[in-house]
Amino acid sequence: MITNKLKGAFVAVAAIVAGAMATPASAVPLGGSFAIFGGVQDGQNLMTTNSIDFTGPFVVSSVPGPQGDFAGLTTGTIKDLTFSPFGSVQDFLTFAGSTLNFDLLSITSVTRASAAAGDSLIISGTGRFQETGFDDTNGVIVLTLQDFAGTHISLSFSASAITGEGGGGPNVPEPASAAILGAALLGLGLMRRAHRA
């Protein structure tokens, strides 16, 4: 039979180990921004269209260059976009040589403008960046499409994206560690109750 002192020592050691294992884990979101540019299929009237057909890969702008966790990005692909009616677009942006992608989850505004210099269409949206080794991170993207001559020929686009505010997430206890700590505290309570009886 285990003595009460040995039981008490065992429970104390279990509580210390559980407490040490319950250190909070910090979320690791992506942080930074980038700008891209590329082509749009000729023949689209930016003043009336509800969808955009992009051509070829895009290029990541070197001025000012990708910032933060996006440093080193150079090219990627963009999926065609129907923005009215809108349905989320998984892997809207993917980047060459990287596991980074951006899912476009909502359109927040669409603005059209016509001037003597040409037409433009600005589409703003929100979504989620995903990359191996990082937590999914909310982000914002703004697409600007230009038809400088107003002829629906030689269309182009540029876009900028930025992650949500802040570089770190809240401290969140790991579920397994919290469960071990809870079990240890329950054991302490039961041992104390048994000791009184």
Give the pLDDT confidence of 133-186 residue by residue, as tens digits.
999 999 999 999 998 876 767 678 888 888 864 333 333 444 555 555 555 555
Q: Which residues contact 31 (CB under 8 A, 6 or more apart)?
A: 68, 69, 137, 163, 166, 167
Q: What is the pLDDT of residue 110?
A: 96
Q: Per-domain residue ranges for the chain?
A: 4-24+175-196, 33-163
Instruction: Name beta bridge partners: 195.
Output: none
Q: What is the pLDDT of residue 129?
A: 94
Asked whether the predicted pLDDT for residue 26 surpasses 60, the reply is: no
Asked whether the predicted pLDDT for residue 48 surpasses 50, the reply is: yes
Q: What is the pLDDT of residue 64?
A: 83
pTM over 0.75: no
Element containing residue 101 per DSSP (H, E): strand 101-115
Instruction: Name beta bridge partners: 111.
Output: 122
Least confident window among 25-39, 123-137, 156-170, 179-193: 179-193
The residue type found at 46 is L
Q: Model confidence at 43, in pLDDT bands (50, 70, 90)? A: confident
| Average pLDDT estimate for 53-82 | 92
Q: What is the pLDDT of residue 186?
A: 56
d(CA 167, CA 32): 9
More confident residue, 12 or 149: 149
- What value does the mean pLDDT of the chain take? 78
Give the pLDDT confidence of 88-119 residue by residue, as tens digits.
999 999 999 999 999 999 999 999 999 888 89
Torsion of CA 169, 171, 175, 181, to 10 degrees: 180
More confident residue, 129 or 162: 129
Q: What is the pLDDT of residue 151?
A: 73
Asked whether the predicted pLDDT for residue 1 surpasses 50, the reply is: no
